[in-house]
Amino acid sequence: MKSLHFDSLDSTNTYLKDNYQNLDDLTFVSCDYQTEGKGRNGRQWLSEDSQNLLFSVLIKDKFLIEEFKKLSVVSAYSIIQILENYGLKNLSLKWPNDVYANDCKICGILLEAITRNEIDCLVIGIGLNVNQTEFNDEYRIRPTSMKIELNKDTDKVNLKRNIYEKLVSNFETVKNGHDFYSEITKYDYLKNKDATTTINRNEEKIRIIGINRDCSLKIRFKNEDLDIEAGEITLNL
Ligand code: BTN
């Protein structure tokens, strides 16, 4: 395991983006506290000191970089597999890469590309709520943690190693051509849900059909099916 750990960083994603040239494929960097933890869409990622897992994985393998859409969904699925092994129930994957337990967010994933002329590498940043039990009111989606779900503390060192091994083995499986589609659809949180979204500045009703084999999302709008990529749509449920 090519692993680096720090007490505190601005952000594990930023660390890998700043240092990727000197680091190997699949380097894993974690820390106890982030001073500028980043969430998706420019939001902050808040996490109490030493309570949770905050880590990022560097992807330099050219084949995996091309599969970046799958990697984000497969990363979330890997977290679900690990959480199930720890006894969590009612887990789901909210496309493209949030993990929910009992309809509350337990894990968020931020995938960033480092691009010069083409994509040089990817950084997959994962924040998993482990032993934190108090969350302030600043969260858009109600948070939960392993401790809230299981009523006990989890050893973060073992958990981190288990997650690393699962991610590496699932990424290897993606390289071998497996797409995890049938496994992932079982956990599809958005499947068959009604939502609204802004289309041409109008708030429109849509129906979400579900995750596609290529990890885009199929939605139905005015009887027409459309495939949406991550980042192209904001859904209000
Ligand atoms: C989201 O759901 O908005 C994505 C959150 C991603 C948070 C993780 S924590 C480790 C890594 N470093 C960051 O700054 N962000 C990601």
Q: In this predicted model, what pLDDT tens digit does every residue of 9-20 receive, in sequence order? A: 999 999 999 999
What is the distance in A from the centroid of ligand 1 to the CA of 10? 11
A 10 A CB-CB count for 152 gives 10
Pick from 52, 98, 74: which is nearest to 166 by CA?
Answer: 74
pLDDT at residue 51, as a whole number: 98
Classified as helix, coil or strand, 182 is helix
Find out whether the beta carbon of 13 lies less than 6 Å from any atom of ligand 1: yes
Question: How much is the mean pLDDT over the chain?
Answer: 95
Pairing of strands 28-34, 3-9: parallel
pLDDT digits (tens, 9 = 90+) for 27-64: 999 999 999 999 998 999 999 999 999 999 999 999 99
Ligand 1 pocket, 38 CB below 6 A? yes
- The ligand 1 atom at the shortest distance from the C-alpha of residue 12 is 12
Q: 237 pLDDT band (50/70/90 cuts)? A: confident
Pairwise CA distance, residues 26 & 205, whole Å: 41
What span, in angstroms and rounded, lies between the C-alpha atoms of 163 and 82?
Answer: 7
Q: Is the pLDDT of residue 189 over 90?
A: yes
Picking from 70, 59, 99, 66, the residue whose alpha carbon sits closest to that of residue 179 is 70
Q: Which pLDDT does position 155 carry in this prediction?
A: 98
Query: pLDDT band at residue 140, thresholds of 50, 70 and 90?
Result: confident
Q: What is the pLDDT of residue 198?
A: 86
Query: Would you say the CB of residue 109 lies under 6 angstroms from ligand 1?
Result: yes
Across residues 154-169, what is the average pLDDT?
97
Mutate to test the pocket of ligand 1, among 4, 45, 93, 126 (most ligand atoms within 8 A of CB): 45
C-beta of 83 in contact with ligand 1 (< 6 A):
no
